[in-house]
Amino acid sequence: MTTSILIEHAPEMAPVASGLRDLGKTSSDCVAVVRSVKDTWKSQSEVFSWKEALRQRGIKAEGDAVERLLLAYAVEEAAPGLELLPLHHSVKTLMRKEFLAYLKAPGKGSQLLAGTDPFVSACKIASLRRFVAGPLDWVISGLPRSWLYKMTLSRIPEALWYIATEFGGFKPAFYIHVGPAPRNRSLVIPKEVNKAFYRMAKSLELQPEMKGILCASWFHDPAVLRATPHLAPLNDPYLKYGGRIVATLGPAPADSGFLEHNRERQILYENGQFRPSLTLAMWPRRAAIAWAQHHPELEN
């Protein structure tokens, strides 16, 4: 998987690659930009400025052409290192599939425009900072201590006890994110959700320093689960298999996903009748690994 493959299959990318070289940008510069992309617009400022510089030179960079070229350079460098990482083999397969998706011609499939969540996710995956488990992804992170102050006062002692004695500390841990489209569509398929948890648990087993798996999301809110039972597979590890729904952390932001593709929820939210809480869920490593060992059918 190289940038030459991308240009061979998408000849319209050649002027973009040439234009970046004329701007003095090397492949290492491109990789560095991808590695620096975070969730903020500021972290993507170089991408915006490079696109503007190309435009001023009269180089047509349609759609996400620049972004895909940057990702191609990042994938070219990251691919060999992927094989050395302590990840379940299925995760590596899914990562390689994701890499290939970035090498499609601009405008083909999902757009990866700078300033959007799909581009941020792609940059993290292409630089081996985010890992693919199916409809769910994870990053190496932990539990910010500041979250304790978001809990109701009465829940803090119990949460601290659980973090210290059951989870084993605040970090490091796998922090779950919902995968971008189209992968997130399989969140409604219980087997696909279970496979994602299985891949994470088996990867956890290969990384003994990790405390476990955690997530803070609106879909762990007990009130939301009662109203939408199809979310049960996303909560089973914490309610049935040794984890815990630890505490609520205040109102879930309106852009956290619960309003997407659901007009009924949008109406209820606008009327003040639906206000989900951001809720912390934690699954200690020994419980996750034990669960995976009891579900070998998810290996395939």
> What strands, in cross-sheet order, belong to the sheet with 277-284?
130-132, 136-141, 173-178, 212-217, 277-284, 244-251
Percentage of residues in the chain having pLDDT higher than 70: 89
Cβ-based burial of 296 (10 A; exposed 0-12, middle 13-18, buried ≥19) = exposed
My answer on whether 107 and 238 are in the same domain is: no
Instruction: Give SS3 for 85.
Output: coil
Q: What is the CA radius of gyration of the chain?
A: 21
Does residue 9 carry a pLDDT above 80?
no
Q: What confidence category does residue 97 fall into, taking pLDDT thresholds of 50, 70 and 90? A: very high
What contacts 134, CB < 8 A, 6 or more positions away? 94, 179, 183, 186, 192, 193, 195, 196, 199
Phi/psi for 71 (5° steps) reads -65, -35
Q: Report d(CA 70, CA 6) in Å as an integer.
A: 11
My answer on whether 8 and 142 are in the same domain is: no
My answer on whether 90 and 165 are in the same domain is: no
**How confident is the model over 164-189, as pLDDT tens digits?**
999 999 999 999 999 998 898 898 89
Please report, as a single letter, which amino acid is at residue 74: A
Of 128, 146, 177, the last residue of a domain is 128
For β-strands 136-141 and 277-284, DSSP reports them as unpaired
My answer on whether 38 and 154 are in the same domain is: no
**How confident is the model over 246-284, as pLDDT tens digits?**
999 998 776 766 656 666 666 666 666 667 889 999 999
For every residue of 127-155, DSSP letters joined together read TTSEEE-SSEEEEEE---GGGGGGS-GGG
* Cβ neighbour number for residue 50 with a 10 Å cutoff: 23
Looking at residue 244, its pLDDT comes to 97
My answer on whether 232 and 88 are in the same domain is: no
My answer on whether 106 and 252 are in the same domain is: no
* Cβ neighbour number for residue 159 with a 10 Å cutoff: 20
Of 108, 128, 148, the last residue of a domain is 128
Instruction: Give SS3 for 249.
Output: strand
Q: Report d(CA 300, CA 297) in Å as an integer.
A: 7
2 or 126, greater pLDDT: 126
My answer on whether 286 and 166 are in the same domain is: yes
The distance in angstroms from the start CA to the end CA of the chain is 26
pLDDT averaged over the chain? Answer: 91
pTM here is 0.91
Range of the domain at 112: 3-128
My answer on whether 245 and 143 are in the same domain is: yes
Q: Say how many domains are in the chain.
A: 2
My answer on whether 32 and 89 are in the same domain is: yes
My answer on whether 98 and 225 are in the same domain is: no
Q: Which of 153-162, 220-229, 267-276 has the lowest mean pLDDT?
A: 267-276
My answer on whether 284 and 145 are in the same domain is: yes
Looking at residue 126, its pLDDT comes to 97
Of 128, 153, 177, the last residue of a domain is 128
My answer on whether 167 and 292 are in the same domain is: yes
Instruction: Give SS3 for 6.
Output: helix
